[in-house]
A and B are shown apart, each in its own frame.
Chain A
Amino acid sequence: MSSPLHDRAGEILLQAISMPTDARLRFVESACAGDSNLRDEVESLLRAHSVALPILDAPHDAAAGPLVAEDDDRFIGARFGAFHILSKVASGGMGVVYRAEQDHPRRIVAIKLLRRGLSERSAIRRFQFEVQALGLLQHAGIAQIFEAGVEDQDGVSIPYFAMEYVDGGRSITDFAIERCLSKRERLNLVAQVCDAVHSGHQKGIIHRDLKPDNILVDESGQPKVIDFGVARATDADLHVTTQHSEIGRLIGTLPYMSPEQLTGDPGQVDIRADVYALGVVLYELLVGQLPISGPWTTLVDAVFAIREHPPRRLGSVDITLRGDIETIAAKALEKDKSRRYQSTAEFAADIRRFLSDEPISARPPTAMYQLRMFARRNRGLVRGAVFGAAALLIGAVISIQQAYVATTARNLAQREGVRSQYQAYLAGIAAAGAATENHDVPLARRSLHRTPEVFRGWEWHYLRGRLDQSLLVIPVATLPRVRHGQFLDFNVIGAWDTAVSAWARWDAETGAQLAPLPAPCLAMVNRTRSAQLITQDNALTVEQFETGRRRTFRLAEVGMPSNATIHLSDNGKWLSANSLGSAAIIHLETQEVFNVALSVFPVGFAPSAVSNHGQLAVGTGLEGKPAIWDARAGTLRAFEKATAPGNDLVFAPNNARVAAVLSDATVRLWDATSAKLLATGHGHSNAATVVRFSPDGSLIATAGRDRTVRLWSADSLDPLAVLHGHDDAIASLEFNESGTRIVTVGAESDQTIRIWDITNHGNRTVLSGHGDYVYPVAVSHDGNTIASGAGDNEIRLWNANQLIAGKRLIGHTGHLIKLKFSPDDSRLLSFGGDETLRIWDVASGVEIRRHKWLGNGTGLAWHPDGSHVYLPDSGIESISLWNTETGEMETHPFARLAEISHGPVSADGEYAVVQIDSRHTVVRIRDATPVLSGPIGHIFEFGPAASGRRLAAIQTGSPCVVEVWDLETHNRVGLLRGHSGRSVWDIAFSPDGSRIVTAGDDEVIRVWDASTMDEIVQLRGHTSYVWSLVFRPDGTQLISGSGDATVRVWDTISLSDRYMSLD
């Protein structure tokens, strides 16, 4: 069938639309040549042609689309309304974003051209209306929309809108990776985004398309949500076309869509869809993966997964996220929106509660709810199963914190109770670990205290030991009266006790209380202990210790009231005093007085310190902000960027710089002459109240309300260490004369004075000194000596109790591979890359024997009587023993291997790992037969006698996995998975056999439960691979050697307890 009229009209239509618009009608007129029927037909088609009808115009393919990816650049240089397009920024599914310049006001904006042409007038009107409504949305966290319009380009109406240009903006996920943000910082960022989104919700606008690409963060760290409400204005959510790339894009966006968005009903979508999307963003930021992840190739798979699959628990991806933060994420990601946070404000509030360690509002799902969800997911199965079986299944699914599943059989309930208690233990350990990382001692202590006692193992003791990093704790019952403590002498701590008007004193080494030193009245010693200031009967006496000279005068003489606040300069020659905004500097020799009169400085000035030459004083001026007063010039100058009130200010010992702690929790460093800002230190989670320079001026120490002592480099404020231990705010901090110790006094409820060792920046448990990668570590049988060997060919000995360096054993001409203490600890066996075995006398550090040996060090062991060293070699015919008395090599029957009973031999002497055909094989020594079906990896460890006959070894072929074998049954009883990198480099059993510790290429030490094979805790700190692990025989220390050239001691006993237990 065909119609001549139709065909002819079609031809003319095609020709007409190839012409410019104004020429079309004239052409039609002439082409129809007076045929009015034909002309009417063509003209009506022409009109219809310019109208859009979605069902016909939506399935554009590349050539027909109004805007296509390959052609994005053609708009550069074009004008859209008041905007001149400069360059392309990004291209997405919905449109292309350009950088553009606006005429009035002149500014750079981002302009988004939508891919989907709008030609229906009503659609254009609606688009403009919607976008203009969005312009009302103004919030620091939302990129503001300025204007919307539709521009005709080449006959196509292209809708566009202009919005705030986010300079340097990148997606929130990229930003977090780029800046290496900590988890806390990431959480904070999400909370800020929640605030911004909430402000949109309050204006009745739902974002509907929140995803990392729509949350940019600018250079200053300010998140900016873009495209707010645009999805609605353009109907672009869930707009799907047939294009392959579109399906791909949609699948990419689906993970951020709430299940109700996927039902496709716009009426179901409310602000809680944004809560869900932010939950996904939070999850992705924390662990770098999606809560429900593909790979999906079809929409069905993706939609099904998002609607039906529960999200992976955060804690199962990263165990440090067990506990509250996991609960918060799970609540935001609830499938049922009525179970989610009901607003992003609630979501943000819970994140902030978590960050400030307050109880969160979200609760983990109850057992009954999980049971219902389980039943919903598995309707047929549950209905069909007999009750007991169903209960068993449910038990397997329900995890944390469920205490009791009613109506199950009693024994099942008991088993479940144990499991849930155990899970509570794991969560408690994770919480305590996280709190320790955040230096929140009280929370860490509470978390540890709450864990069920029965499960407490090595990691519990380790975390408890880390609660206090101070060297010495002096409990002071009268602390409310002593708010300031300092070193009175090299080994005497003094604290002024106002009640008895005396210096309370303690021995700085032992903490023993000494007789108080009475002083006439309020007394203070200046920072360098060069002078003492005594006030009595409204008179001030300054005593110079060096000369013994005393000088007494009255404050009234210099126009100050007797209750003025006073400070002495470091050299004891100048005094500053202030009261009620007026301040004075007094030269003690000459009684020369400089006054700050209220008439000169209407804002007042309160000096905190006076320089040695008396010309300068630093303190707080207008609104409490730090300022410097030049007494001779009579000027008061605010420090550059002194944006918040100062809590404490000090001069550097050379008086050239000034350090301050501000109430905004920053530390600042200024040049004293120019008042220019030199550096800013960030890290305190609450304002610090005290700042001090070390006597040599190289370090700055700060302390305050966040209960930490922080050390900074004094030239750039680089953070060097964070020390915790105080249970409450720190009221005072002073260095000792040599700058090796700090004394702090706790405030309020923390009734302690603490002394901190800050040699090695307080990292006493990090043993540094080696000049190259550390390979083997060993610990003596008495536990007192640690030995380490490194790529610098040296062996170093360390005192394991004091954690200080001991002898260096030098002689090897290749890197160290293996170290073993003799059974009586008097000698140390070493094996190096120079292919020599050496024996050293530990007491003298002298090499006493040497033997050339070609081996790899695996399996070297002392004979328990100390007379021989077992040198592993191939085969099961005989064994080689090196006689350390004579230096002779001896060959012995294979069965003698049973005597070794450690190292490559099981504790009971039954089994050994030997190389057969260059593969490591477990054999029963008695009859020299292999007991496991295949070879094991070359890194292995027998469990101690307490663990039963266990063997852990890396898996041949995948050396990041550790297999645990029960030699009794010859069964593999566990697989420890989690490590990454090239290999696990070492395995250790805790002496009680309850824990297995592994470490390797990925720098992380993992502690596993040897019975459940659960990963319990991760020990992080090494900055390169961890090559070796060894437990101190009493189990109190785990020692690790790493490619970062350090040996770390992971101690279950706190530094102060170790210190106090020393003779």
Chain B
Amino acid sequence: MAVAIALILVAVGSVAFHMLSPWWWTPIASNWSYIDDTLIVTFWITGVAFTIIVLFMAYCVVRFRHRPGHKAEHEPENKRLEWWLTIGTTIGVAALLAPGLIVWHRFITVPANATEIEIVGQQWQWTFRLPGHDGRLGTVSVRFIGPDNPLGIDPSDPAGQDDVIVEGGELQLPIGRPVKVLMRAIDVLHNFYVPEFRAKMDMVPGQVTFFWFTPTRTGTFEAVCAELCGLGHAVMRGRVVVVEEAEYHAWLERQPTFVRRLAAAR
């Protein structure tokens, strides 16, 4: 009987904890409420399955526990029941997968009007690069990386001359405009993660990765590193400040461009 009570407590307690505990995701600040919706659907389907299974176990433990004279039923197979359960499960799994794949398609389809920006990870700080007036980012290579050129921008590429470089501090983004975040790492793996945006992607040395999102509310959001990158992993922090469009442009004008940096260094 203690076992049945414990099982019931586990089932009911888990649901109660889910409903009542103060620990839940951060309020969303991007267009990815689709992801939240899919998560909620998943919580519902799995929560119902878990509760039913554990409560059924509790029922069995009470109803079919050993008593003098009680005997188990010998029933090697029940094809019909097994098929029904298989079909039911397949439907449940399809109900989870289909919306998941639809939202994933959205997640990897970047809108044509998205602004490209770049985030570069290195042990243990973030650097941001935004396109200048030409709206394009210049080409980069590891071999150009040096004290004056931390991101390795090709000095001979005209597109790179007006690129804006923001080191160490914070990234500002305008509200309501889709952003395609291009990501690079120059030493080890990193992952730029702002929980309020829901989206994240690893940065891999030797390649460029991406994700996109649209900021949907203004405010300051803390970014953490979500891929183990060595001793400073936990202190590799950054900030993203989402502001109104005009404020964003004013901020952008104040940032040094690649050419100005090089000139200042000489």
Q: Do A and B bind each other?
A: no
